Structure 1
């Protein structure tokens, strides 16, 4: 994996190694799918045998943007990997490049809502970087200075920036997190910080994705603003961008808005600032364009979205930037930034190229018998065909 020095998209290369390429997505999908069942299966023979027509294309700068509609249609056909799939693709400033479809037993409404899971982290990291811009704290501020009664005194210093980039050394939780809707942010964080829990790794040697980092950041947001995370989310992001279908449900609220992409499960998980939000494809596309395009952050903080921490180079898994964006390079050399997320029955993701010039948002319903590797392959296939 190449650590980019800047967010400029690279020119397509003709060489690729599919095995290595797919391995880069393992943590991206697996971490986002912790609360969803993952499935196995292959494309039906009829789909494999049909010759693909020439993809729709358009020029974006000096690159050629190919939207492979046939490949996307094949990947969206219900099979052993997914019961139903929604995909939305756009190319900013390119007339005619806009594609939205749903297949299988899911809502055909392009504005249907779904639980975005760990994609919530992108909203949390945006709020944190906005607070950095306002001087409420810095990326180098030890989190214990913000939350002295929450973070144990015997822990080695962990900074705001380390939490954002999953380089905090935080280990697995030692408390019980099975209370579902009965949990609170404080109870969740206590599962990492209570007496008897192992201290974070120090010195930290690897970048390790950990949802606990973002629960702690959610509490930091509330502490320095004096408002709830949900209020700050609305005040700073969803209302200014006009995201009318994007919100954090109240504690204990397991309902889904109508239309929703799929029928809600009887009891939904809750993950607050780490993974609890609800949105839809048009809203997520608008958010990603605003985030990658620099509309939500001042230049200094915008740059942090694309800076890879030193530990990312030692990671055996997909790297995350200093601003919490997952990074990958597609088989043609295109660099993409974004996040996956799973919650309840949904497995989702949103990725884009630098500046938000191209965006893909997807959500699918994994089948109960699926394997992690097949879900990874499905995600890679969708992003490759779309971007």
Structure 2
């Protein structure tokens, strides 16, 4: 084990033997503690769909900068022509209420999922050009809550288009650079993985290819170390992170939950917890905040078994003190 001894012991209890390579962070008004096992604290994990929460921050920040408006459409920022998806608004994308599917049929999601199960291959290797080709054939359904990786891919690349830079550069310029996040990045290919990149594994311990790709970046392509995730959550809690209004719930999401820009808020034991989780072929992640008490927690694992319950437990047992 590495890092804070008390947190390390608690992680052992919460995660057991299912997560041999994992890390956790606790953030409170008293300071930040981190701990890990099976890897150095500088090692980077795939954070999966917590990337959507980061895209939510960038969306809110772009609104504050005046680069976009809530009613701005995807077609105003990406070269899609006169197709149905071009008329979808950024606000609806940020709340998973755009009418778009989880993934487009033209991406052959079933075929890719089967390849992942059988061979551990990366189902998300598309570049931005391929994403736009897929978008031109997508049917837009009625406006309702429907979790959409595809929607957040388009949202992130549209925001980047408004800022006239690639999404990976946008993250670096407005999130990782200003906050000093040294191991927080988006590899477009396996060749771009950092020297501390971990290999994820299935629940049975089988290695999984890294989920790299330009298109998936805004929805699930970020890698980060536990130290950088702790710094990000600390910045969210003290208000120094860009786009902090993304955390404010503005619309219903699911039973008992509301959503801001990517971030979900629920009531847990009388506390309002703002959170997001993530999962890839070989990783699981969870990050949550109790904004009223100034407390946050993060768990990252290089095994594809859920860490949601341990994450909520780690956070709530400290917010109740």
TM interval, short-chain normalised: 0.7 to 0.9
d(CA) in 2 for partners of 1:159, 1:365: 35
Following TM superposition, by how much is the alpha carbon of 1:380 offset from its aligned partner in structure 2, in angstroms? 3.6
- Does 1:277 find its partner at 2:216? no
Following TM superposition, by how much is the alpha carbon of 1:257 offset from its aligned partner in structure 2, in angstroms? 2.7
After superposition, the C-alpha distances for 1:220-258 in whole angstroms (9 at most, x for unaligned) are 123222211111211111111111111111334363432
- Aligned partner of 1:347 in structure 2 is 284
d(CA) in 1 for partners of 2:217, 2:246: 24
Higher relative contact order (CA 8 A, sep 6+): 1
2:7–2:34: 8 Å Cα contact kept in structure 1? Answer: no
d(CA) in 2 for partners of 1:235, 1:269: 22
Give the paired residue count: 294
- Does 1:268 find its partner at 2:199? no
Of 116, 126, 134, the match for 2:65 = 134
d(CA) in 2 for partners of 1:238, 1:86: 20
Q: How does 1:175-324 map to 2 (within 5 A)?
A: 175=106, 176-177=108-109, 178=112, 180=123, 182-191=125-134, 193-195=135-137, 197=138, 199-202=139-142, 204=143, 206-253=144-191, 255-258=193-196, 260=198, 265=207, 267-270=209-212, 271-297=216-242, 302-309=244-251, 311-312=252-253, 315-316=254-255, 318-321=257-260, 323-324=261-262
Runs of 4+ aligned structure 1 residues displaced above 6 Å come to 67-70, 261-264
After superposition, the C-alpha distances for 1:126-182 in whole angstroms (9 at most, x for unaligned) are 2222221121221122222323x3265345942111111111111242112537464
- Aligned partner of 1:123 in structure 2 is 54
Q: Which has the larger radius of gyration?
A: 1
Following TM superposition, by how much is the alpha carbon of 1:338 offset from its aligned partner in structure 2, in angstroms? 2.4
1:275–1:181 Cα change, 3 Å: closer
Following TM superposition, by how much is the alpha carbon of 1:71 offset from its aligned partner in structure 2, in angstroms? 5.7
Following TM superposition, by how much is the alpha carbon of 1:261 offset from its aligned partner in structure 2, in angstroms? 8.0
After superposition, the C-alpha distances for 1:62-103 in whole angstroms (9 at most, x for unaligned) are xxxxx9987644213214xx34432211212x2xx6543334
1:85–1:166 Cα change, 3 Å: same
1:124–1:157 Cα change, 3 Å: same
2:55–2:218: 8 Å Cα contact kept in structure 1? Answer: yes
TM-score normalised according to structure 2 size: 0.79
d(CA) in 2 for partners of 1:261, 1:90: 26
| Structure 1 unmatched ranges of 5 or more | 1-66
TM-score normalised according to structure 1 size: 0.66
- Does 1:90 find its partner at 2:36? no
Once the two structures are overlaid, the 10-residue window that deviates more, 154-163 or 344-353, is: 154-163
- Aligned partner of 1:359 in structure 2 is 296
- Aligned partner of 2:117 in structure 1 is none
1:289–1:355: 8 Å Cα contact kept in structure 2? Answer: no
Following TM superposition, by how much is the alpha carbon of 1:268 offset from its aligned partner in structure 2, in angstroms? 1.4
1:151–1:117 Cα change, 3 Å: farther
| Structure 2 unmatched ranges of 5 or more | 1-5, 113-121
